[in-house]
Structure 1
């Protein structure tokens, strides 16, 4: 009998910030010779299938991957609700189901996949760290357990030490202690992170909160993972990756969003912004894109829209479903200077030399893409990991500025910050730092760079551990 083939069963998370890197990790594994079964939540599949502005059947990276000869199998799994169930409005009900009922669905699906395989496979489970289910299921089916974290290593190590932070009184954060410096976690002594910079879960006092329960449980269970993959660059977060490596085998393999099978320019140009961009001066255009939750904030949308008008800059604004959130007359008043689109390929837009800045909610994917493309940022975080991401961008790496100093957004301040980012002395300083950081990331992505080396070291270690039959040595 020949050598077994590695078969990755991948359980994707349901938010876009997780789906994109998870998809690219699947392609990366398949490109390295693994068989991949990618499991998507049914409602995410339906959402992508009806997306506006792009032919999903053409743009689907898995279709292109299979056309390139990669062995990627695709299936869906129900989260217990119909596709049109509003999971944002009913997030508590949705997450209760994910926490309590979803693991049994995953268990059944994985059992069926393994039992139906008629080839000699060494199965391993790759699941988002935000799930608590992998430890139990991997143990049941004697699979190696690979946890994939789609956010910064800094956020991972903070969550990993929740018990220590609770013991020292940092979790949950006291409302009047926003500026307390945290200096008790191994590996982050050199960074002055304050309680205000912690993720939104650290500010949640409700111990019965479903989001808090899920995160606490997930980071207890991740301590049983055989391997941890983080979508970051070792050179950007070396101290924290190194500190985690002292606990469990941890590999910085990011940014995984840059794939040879990325969406062809012929597809994203259907949004009509490519030709428009190419007609503008270098560094003169502001790119604006927020996450889906941020887009539902009417007042924010109006203040940013009016701030853009006051600034007088050219812009591309991605609003997937919320163009009606903009002030009356904005589209007409700004049509000579801007383009509003429902979808675009963000990497392609950011890599265009006419883009001079990125107004962002500080999602980790967006930050990595902005760095790769050398575009400085204006940061306005909302929740989850975004406040911590902002701290990295503005305070530590100095490749961005804050949108506002308070909690509310004012159109005049928006205009001032846009003008500061595009065409000022501050802009020159930011661009210098961004150019240096972008160079570091691109070197990491080279064939002999840290990202490539770490990924192949992970595969070698995975094979070695699979050969011994040893699993679940942590916890």
Structure 2
């Protein structure tokens, strides 16, 4: 995607949610926007920045490499709103989520006011870009009279489910009811309750999480633009329906949001292990890449299959069963973290056993590696549905649904059987769809161009009126 060569640059304030799965596509989108002509001030929290520093991967300046290419990306830190130290927090995830959703916005507001004052090279903010899960961006943008661009890091299918949240909730008189049937959701093909985002299976469908999502989507519905990290050809019906709800041209599929910086930024918050030498010694397509916390039936299935494997298991995750590493000695390698795309691109890797986080799904598709789907939580069951429908992977069930022998059979089928050959051919078709989408004349490239043109036109008209 060509870099901008004009003179007048609009200033986008980009607020990212400080979780790895949201931070990575947000940082890469910031680079893309800067290359398309924006000054970008990228905002993360002070606590998350400390995680980056502690990882010794990215150093103090995430965007130093991007700036060396002439891109105008600035980095600002704000408080997430928590008063006590995160290290002393007894309920870190709950309290962080509450702070991000309800306490962070005043700090972002203060930053916008500071930048608008124009001191020390600061320029006023022209547009607010923020993760769609925040519950305050549209309200804040209206306060300053600037457009709000909502960035959705997950597939359009999940966005559509949350957009029509009231159609999925049980009746008010029975909030403890279990969802056993899903009615028609505009733009969503037939979907079973097991494929819904895991939040719908909580004891009470009126849980705090769904209340927060409902509020976030009130803000997202009021956005001037929505940028979605998906590919139009993968979700054509869902994207078309959402474009209709957003008056035709305001919902843009611009994925996959991958590393457009050419390696100019590093977005991992964990030190990565170099497994390339081990992989180099393996035959082509012989290694199963596994990336998630352990599960007894999965570990047993991996052992029974006899397949070579590279397993990423972070410190603090559920441990592998006793004796696992000894039993797999010589054919398996367990590491705490890796550079996932480098691993997936390695010719020795023939399959990916994954929970189906959306970033991992897109990376697997981009690299042409077929998946074994084992979803656990959040959007993973819904992502699994998409993977299976486009025939880029095989569903092996979820926690408590599968047994050791079934896992072993699925692994053997993917890595060496006829099923694996068929899925690999389909995955190659999907890979070409993703690569074509970000080519200069591809759907995602055209959509990002249309977005930039419409936004800059809106900003120009606003300046004329003022």
User: How far apart are the structure 2 equivalents of 1:254 and 1:173?
Assistant: 37
Where do 1:242-391 residues align within 5 Å? 242-248=240-246, 249-262=250-263, 271-290=273-292, 295=293, 300-322=294-316, 325-391=319-385
User: Is 1:216 aligned to residue 214 of structure 2?
Assistant: yes
Deviation at 1:92, TM superposition (A): 2.8
Q: Tell me how large the CA RMSD over aligned residues is.
A: 2.8
Q: Distance in 2 between matches of 1:224 and 1:94?
A: 25
Deviation per residue, 1:166-202 (Å, 9 max, x gap): 4889x9794261xx3532x2222xx221222111222
Answer with 109-118 or 453-462: which moved more: 109-118
Distance 1:223 1:257, change over 3 A: same
Instruction: Give the CA deviation at 1:405.
Output: 6.5
For structure 1, the residue ranges without an aligned partner over 5 or more in a row are 471-475
Aligned partners of 1:264 and 1:203: how far apart in 2? Answer: 37
Q: Does residue 1:26 correspond to 2:30, yes or no?
A: yes
1:444 to 424, 437, 450: 437
Per-residue CA deviation, residues 132-191 of structure 1 (Å, 9 max, x unaligned), is 11011101111110000000001101111123444889x9794261xx3532x2222xx2
Instruction: Give matches, 1:377-456, under 5 Å.
Output: 377-394=371-388, 396-404=389-397, 407-456=400-449
Aligned equivalents of 1:85, 1:412: Cα separation in 2: 43
Q: What is the aligned partner in structure 2 of residue 239 from structure 1?
A: 237
Deviation at 1:4, TM superposition (A): 4.1
Shift of 1:423: 0.4
Shift of residue 317 of structure 1? 1.0
Q: Give 3-state SS (helix, strand or coil) of 1:30's partner.
A: helix
Cα distance in 2, alignment partners of residues 382 and 152 from structure 1: 17
Asked if the contact 2:169/2:205 (under 8 Å) is kept, the reply is no
> What is the aligned partner in structure 1 of residue 223 from structure 2?
225
The 3 A distance-change label for structure 1 pair 175 and 416 is same
> Equivalent residue for 2:150?
147
What does residue 3 of structure 2 align with?
none
CA offsets 1:383-428 (integer angstroms, 9 cap, x no match): 111111011112x112211223773453333222211211011111
Cα distance change on mapping 1:406 and 1:318 into 2, 3 Å: closer
The answer to whether the aligner puts 1:97 opposite 2:99 as a matched pair is: yes
Residue 342 of structure 1, CA deviation = 1.9
Give 1:186's aligned residue: 186
> Would you say the 8 A contact 1:5–1:120 is kept in 2?
no
8 Å contact kept, 1:204–1:212: no
Secondary structure of the structure 1 residue equivalent to 2:337:
coil
Shift of 1:6: 0.8
Q: TM-score, normalised by structure 1?
A: 0.87
How many equivalent residue pairs?
A: 449
Deviation at 1:430, TM superposition (A): 0.7
